[in-house]
Structure 1
């Protein structure tokens, strides 16, 4: 080669710290969003029957479909802790002819709805409106799948008690199925749902046309300019979340009530003391949940804003001027 030629660079230039930071944020924002949702879900489900209306609707549908599919008298619906969420499965082979189950806030399917919604909403390259519509449809599918899961419990309990009728715990296969679905089954289904949706939206000509034509009238963006009011709201929201956690941890009465509540579970104790402890702990958790919820909503409303085409054009004009 000639003397004036430049040497060949066999290795590409390293990423700058700025590029590395942007790349990290692009990959980490989904798990971070999931962690925030997990924190929010933990707070809203600490008080008993926080999602009471959803729990009652699922219990009502579960009961009526069980009666319709498996025959009259196969189930009954009654109240549990003030909410009509107790479904009692009935069969002659069950222990005392019945298996009592209730739809708790953990069994309502809201956790799964939040999970799939975050996956869909955090997927880049898809129009905002399509993501919102897809999340709504996905939540409906999760609701239906959860009802199907509840309906399947009855035949599983019957099969478990067929070989050992009228024995305590003969319906264990039903509980094993419930545990598997709760721990792994729904997670697998949700990931498959998201993969199918992801392939569908990327393969649709409508999405490409919408991106090229810039048909989105609005979208959620991270706030770039912070006014003193917004900074104050952010600081206040963070303090509310901290106070909600610290207020429970350092409260001696609350921690004593929790210890009493834990001792009462599964033991024959003073019902009055146990009831007072449950009420005290529930009240403390509800107070903490209220403060934390306000804080989380304040942070979300401060960080995220809505960008319209009009506001975007105005900002472009201001930058040019």
Structure 2
């Protein structure tokens, strides 16, 4: 009995093509891991993103008072920044009928913006200008969604505390909402936004076509041409490292905190002063790591460049090497000709 073969449906991918696509997109999780590490080092100290936090706290306060009535929220300082919001209602627990919250660096939405921007910029087969437009639009959407997430705290707390007033347990639904959004809610939204955008621009078919047309679209190389601007950036990176170390070894507040911690450990003392010293020392260490991460990123970004192949498929470094080899050949031939001329001249003089 003759064997029959079935034609592959139009648009279906072979296992080889699936493997090529998987290898191409293996760079995305690696980039996300690097970005996560950078963000972790950047936000080690408290209130690293203070300007963004202050802006969002102000918008949160204004919208809450505008939507739910004047006096629904009050803004105040937290760690020296205007990022604390006290939600006010007669049914809220506590002697002041308030719920104290504040906008931390994790609540600012910058983490989500960086994650989404990395996904978009690492997607192949899409023009660079379209990627930048998508990043701008998506980051704006994330910013608005984050503000709405904060504004929703008040009605959730009021509704739950209306049935059980003056009990801490009535705030559980508000914290559950916060935990759900923080744990997986935003992740679902971000991936969904990227997936819709990805399919809008052709999806896997366009990426596979880009893989076939250009199996190696770019690679990293060390910078070969240096100008004053690049040297200035390296100097700035070095300055960031110096500031990072000086923040630990020359900052008087950090030194006092370290000495206080040493005394607390020696005396086995537990007090508010020891706790404050621990916070100050942790912040000093965090700022050092943050500045070091910025310096390392700036230095690598200056020393390493992303190159793309030329129209004929060769890489710029290969062209430069070939040019150098050709120049060496020319110099060798020129030197040989000059040596031959000198030899003939000497022979004629001897005759």
TM (norm. structure 1) is: 0.72
Alpha-carbon displacement from aligned partner over 1:6-39 (angstroms, at most 9, x marks no partner): xxxxxxxx98xxxx8x766413100000000100
Q: Which protein has the larger Cα radius of gyration, Structure 1 or Structure 2?
A: 2
Alignment partner, residue 37 of structure 2:
39
* Residues 198-237 of structure 1 mapped to structure 2, 5 A cutoff: 198-202=198-202, 221-224=218-221, 227=224
**Cα distance in structure 1, aligned partners of 2:138 and 2:310:** 28
Answer yes or no: is the 8 Å Cα contact 2:309–2:315 preserved in 1: no
Task: Show the counterpart of 1:196.
Answer: 196
**Counterpart position of 2:56:** 58
Q: 1:227 to 1:174 in 2, by over 3 A?
A: same
Q: Partner residue of 2:302? A: 301
Cα distance change on mapping 1:78 and 1:306 into 2, 3 Å: farther
Partner of 2:279: 278
Is the CA contact 2:44–2:289 (under 8 Å) kept in the aligned structure 1? no
In the other structure, the counterpart of 1:7 is none
Q: Distance in 2 between matches of 1:314 and 1:296?
A: 25
Q: How far, CA to CA, are the matches of 2:198 and 2:296 in structure 1?
A: 32
- Structure 2 CA distance for partners of 1:309 and 1:128, relative to 1, 3 Å: farther
Distance 1:168 1:269, change over 3 A: farther
Deviation readout 1:54-87 (Å, 9 max, x if unpaired): 0000000000000000001111010100000001
Relative to structure 1, the CA distance from residue 30 to residue 70 in structure 2 (aligned partners, 3 Å threshold; closer, same or farther) is same
Partner residue, 2:332: none
Q: Which residue of 2 aligns with 1:138?
A: 138
1:113 aligns with 113
Q: Distance in 1 between matches of 2:315 and 2:124?
A: 25
Tell me which of 85, 89, 92 is aligned to 1:91: 89
Match of 2:83, SS? Answer: strand
In 2, the alpha carbon distance for the partners of 1:43 and 1:225 equals: 25
> What's the offset of the Cα at 1:177?
0.4
SS at 1:126 equivalent: coil
- The answer to whether the 8 A contact 1:223-1:302 is kept is no
Unaligned runs of 5+ in 1: 1-13, 212-219, 248-252, 262-267
Q: Give the RMSD, CA atoms, in angstroms.
A: 3.8
C-alpha distance in 2, partners of 1:306/1:282?
Answer: 39
Measure how far apart 1:304 and its partner are.
3.3
User: SS at the partner of 1:223?
Assistant: strand
Does structure 1 residue 151 correspond to structure 2 residue 148?
no
Aligned residue-pair number: 267
What's the counterpart of residue 253 of structure 2? Answer: none
Answering whether residue 172 of structure 2 is matched by residue 172 of structure 1, we say yes
- Taking the aligned partners of 1:284 and 1:24, their CA distance within structure 2 comes to 39
